[in-house]
Every structure is written in C-alpha cells, then in structure tokens.
Amino acid sequence: METVRVLALGRLKEPFYLQAAAEYAKRLSGLCRFSLTELPEYRLPDDPSPAQIADGLRREAQTIRDKVPKGAWFCVLTPEGKKLTSEGFAKAIDAARIGGKSQLCFLIGSSYGIAPEIKAMADLRLSFSDMTFPHHLARVMLLEQIYRAENILAGTRYHK
C-alpha cells in the first residue's frame, strides 16, 4: 500500500471545507496510507512588495523542503502547471508507482504561490484550470482527484 502525503500551506477554517476534506481523507485512508500536513503560511503585510513576497516564499520553501519525504514522487499545484484529465492524473500516479515510488507527496502552496526552487524539485507541476480557485477549495479538489485516481487505478465504479 502506497503512502500519500498532502502538504498544504495555511489552515482550513470554514466548516464546509473542513467537512469535505475530512470526508475525502477518510475515503483515502481505505486505499492508501494517507496524511495531510498543514504548514504555516509566512505572514506578509497587507500590500507586500515583490521583495517581501520573494522572501516569504523562500522562508516557506525551507519548511516545505523539510517535509517532503526523501525519494517521494513530488507534485506541486501551480497555475503554470500541466493540465490533465482525471485519467491522465491517474496515469501519472501509476507511472510513479511503476517507476518504484511508494510515496507520493502533493503540495498546495500559499496564496502567493510556491518558490521557484520548490517547483524545480517537482516530478509533476499540475494545474487544475486556467481559472483561479481559493486555496481551501483547491485542497478539497486535490483530495477528490487523488481519491478518483486511486479508484480509476483500482477499476472501481466511482469514476463512472
């Protein structure tokens, strides 16, 4: 059974996001060893300068680097990432497994994004859409898509 870890900067607060994330985490726990780790988002002023944003992303990068398991297949969610169908996402996960990866790690960055050096570490840079979504909704969407991919790979009827 593979290990799936989701790293997310920031905390969920809204009950409806918490409930949805908890439901998919529960479902995933039956398919893999699942964990979700919330990491602190670096606090920036209300109207940060580009230098302040870059500094915040650098500081977050150190925390992220320490949490990505050594040897794990690593996927970051980023607007400039690759857009995949659910089947294509499942194939990417399956290719990681076939390649000998038993640990998968996914990252949802902060509201200002992800440091370039973290993006460079990724095996897959993934985008859900050209649209912008709140980070909290992106977390629920990611959990659902991981659950869907696991079901596609298991051949269940969930994806139908």
Q: Is residue 52 part of a domain?
A: no
- How many domains are there within the chain? 1
Q: Is residue 59 part of a domain?
A: no
Q: Is residue 36 part of a domain?
A: yes
Q: Is residue 148 part of a domain?
A: yes
Over residues 10-28, the mean pLDDT reads 95
For residue 111, the model assigns a pLDDT of 87
For residue 157, the model assigns a pLDDT of 82
Q: Is residue 53 part of a domain?
A: no
Tell me the pLDDT tens digit for each residue of 147-160: 999 999 999 887 66
Query: Is residue 1 pLDDT above 80, yes or no?
Result: no
DSSP assignment string, 32-63: SEEEEEEEPPPP--SS--HHHHHHHHHHHHHH
Q: Is residue 56 part of a domain?
A: no
Over residues 61-80, the mean pLDDT reads 96
Cβ atoms of 28 and 146 closer than 8 Å: yes
Q: Is residue 55 part of a domain?
A: no
For residue 51, the model assigns a pLDDT of 96
Sign of CA dihedral 15, 106, 62, 119: negative
Tell me the pLDDT tens digit for each residue of 95-136: 999 999 999 999 999 989 999 999 999 999 999 999 988 889
CATH of the domain at 31: 3.40.1280.10
Q: Is residue 32 part of a domain?
A: yes
70 in helix, strand or coil? coil
- 40: domain range? 3-45+66-154
